[in-house]
A = this chain, B = another copy of it.
């Protein structure tokens, strides 16, 4: 007996739904927002009513995404929805403060590409082999027989470019390129989207970058790099953690570096850790998992509470140093 692809049941569910709430994870990145907005746009093109939920106001970094202004932090009455979809969200806690309310909507559909997904919701399509949730939404649009609008294509292209570091990460597949090519046929201009995603530094953000780069520490013959952003640097520069999003790429881009870590003190006593590695020998998702986090082999993260940056750094070094020194 041939088993349904998990996507097929989701397609049937979305086809029969009338009022759909579309959500993503807190502190959303380009893949999260691009996928969320694109799916909502696609569902609307099929005649559905769509509500875009987001706990926070969309970061200035992503306000260029067409439709981002519709993301609303005021949760409406949830009994009006006959379906909710969480995109790019590997763990229900990442739905944020409204998690419990959101999960009262049924069927609750989960579409995600994170490895080590913490299963939740009623219907799940989890594809860790995909480079981005954006690619999965593209497939879903095809399976739904929806014609992608320019705006949806734009958001999906931004999602894919964001989560592959402009096709540089190992998650990039022939399928990623196939979809990117199809999105260009919808009128998306690669240089325009890349310009918005990558040439969007504010002066405040450049100041933050300078301070964060000043924190660079190298270990194990420069194979392990750590940068840190204590709360003071955000306060001093008038920035938020969203401004620091891609800074991990600087230590990562050092030619000797195998593993890079970025420690951000996002609130007092809460340290958010981003981990990156190169190649197949260093699985940072395993390290993140030790501290209750998750992610992919080459890109993972975790949060540690009631600790200083120095304490978190010590804990991380105890795990990462043996890894790179093997």
A residues lining the B interface (CB < 8 Å): 161, 165-170, 172-178, 180-182, 184-185, 189-192, 194-195, 198-203, 206, 209-210, 213-214, 216, 218, 222, 250, 252-257, 278-279, 298
- Does B172 lie within 8 Å of A190, measured CB to CB? yes
Q: How many copies does the complex hold?
A: 2
Known pairs A213-B209, A254-B199; A170 contacts B189 (CB<8 A) = yes
Contacts of A298 in B (CB 8 A): 191
Most chain B CB within 10 A, of A190, A202, A218, A253, is at: A190
Known pairs A198-B253, A213-B206, A254-B201; A190 contacts B178 (CB<8 A) = no
Known pairs A195-B278, A199-B255, A206-B213; A174 contacts B166 (CB<8 A) = no
A222–B203 Cα distance when bound, in Å, is: 8
- Does B169 lie within 8 Å of A203, measured CB to CB? no
- Does A202 lie within 8 Å of B255, measured CB to CB? yes
Contacts of A168 in B (CB 8 A): 166, 190-191, 194-195, 198
- Does B177 lie within 8 Å of A181, measured CB to CB? yes
CB distance from A59 to the nearest CB of B (A): 13
- Does B185 lie within 8 Å of A174, measured CB to CB? yes
- Does B167 lie within 8 Å of A200, measured CB to CB? no
CB distance from A210 to the nearest CB of B (A): 5
When A and B form their complex, which 3 residue pairs have the shortest distance between CB atoms, in order from nearest?
A: A177-B181, A170-B191, A168-B194
A165–B166 Cα distance when bound, in Å, is: 9
- Does A250 lie within 8 Å of B201, measured CB to CB? yes
A292–B220 Cα distance when bound, in Å, is: 48
CB distance from A188 to the nearest CB of B (A): 10
CB distance from A86 to the nearest CB of B (A): 28
- Does B170 lie within 8 Å of A177, measured CB to CB? no
A182–B255 Cα distance when bound, in Å, is: 28
Q: List 23 A-B contacts (CB under 8 A).
A: A166-B168, A167-B190, A168-B190, A168-B198, A169-B191, A170-B190, A170-B191, A170-B192, A176-B181, A177-B181, A177-B184, A178-B181, A181-B181, A192-B279, A199-B253, A200-B253, A201-B250, A201-B255, A202-B254, A203-B254, A203-B256, A206-B250, A210-B213
Closest to A193 in B: B168
Known pairs A177-B178, A210-B210; A172 contacts B191 (CB<8 A) = yes
- Does A199 lie within 8 Å of B252, measured CB to CB? yes
- Does A181 lie within 8 Å of B170, measured CB to CB? no
Contacts of A200 in B (CB 8 A): 253, 255
